[in-house]
Amino acid sequence: MLNKKFFERPTLEVARNLLGCCLINGECVGKIVETEAYLADDPASHSFRGKTARNAAMFGLPGTAYVYFVYGNHYCFNVVTAPEGVGEAVLIRALEPLKGIGLMKKRRRREDVLQLCNGPGKLVEAMDIKMKNNGKNLMEGSLRLELRAVPGRIVSCERIGISLGKELPHRFFINGNKFVSKSKTKDI
DNA sequence: CCGAGGATCATCT
DNA sequence: GATGATCCTCGGT
């Protein structure tokens, strides 16, 4: 179980430290292998233009979930990081499935284990994360985070799928991990 | 392997 | 009316 101290550091550092942590929901468990940081002064961040009904959870206590709906089809899952009111979060972009893989396959309607959680919308579907999880504390409860294992070598690069702030190297992943999204990513 | 295009809707201009 | 922190299918190479 993660504690408050885990989040008492800069968001970019938390984004790195979340790699190797486990996300748990019911019988399903996945190891975080890819993250992206979104800072308060970052034009790509939902919090950039201030608090609204949609992004309110992002301004909540560190360690809470920020879930939002995008592209008419998908949800994305973030972990709030900065102190309350600041508006920073880490987008969870990929998991390595560890437990409950059969259930993940059913929810995703796919058999290929590599395709279950290798993208932000995919892992939300596989882990059955819903809007009702928005604003909930991830240090306790049914959807929660567990402390990191040794994650291997971490590398960073530009973020994916955004138009603003592209140049910022705020994407982090475990080098060589097969479950990272955009698997063509070269080993560095 | 890669790129283009469609699905689909809440939010903002 | 346009856009978006995405995913999937299809067609070309």
Cβ within 7 Å of strand C: which of A 66-105?
66, 70-74, 76, 78, 89, 91
pLDDT of A98: 98
CB A66 within 8 A of CB A57: yes
Domain boundaries, chain A: 4-174
* Whether residue A57 has pLDDT greater than 60: yes
User: Which uninterrupted H or E stretch holds A139?
Assistant: none
CA distances from A79 to A60, A116, A145 (A): 10, 20, 10
pLDDT of A184: 46
pTM over 0.85: yes
Tokens of A112: 């290929």
Q: Which nucleotide is nearest to A45 (CA to C1')?
A: C5
pLDDT (tens digit per residue) in A78-107: 999 999 999 999 999 999 999 999 999 999
Gap from A107 CA to B12 C1', Å:
32
CB A151 within 8 A of CB A174: yes
- Is the minimum distance from the CB of A5 to strand C below 7 Å? no
CATH T-level assignment (fold) for domain A4-174: 3-methyladenine DNA Glycosylase; Chain A (3.10.300)
- The mean per-residue pLDDT over the stretch A31-56 comes to 97
| Among candidate residues A38, A78, A42, A36, the one with its CA nearest the CA of residue A172 | A36
Gap from A69 CA to B12 C1', Å:
15
CB A158 within 8 A of CB A171: yes
Gap from A73 CA to C13 C1', Å:
31
Confidence of residue A151 (pLDDT cuts 50, 70, 90): confident
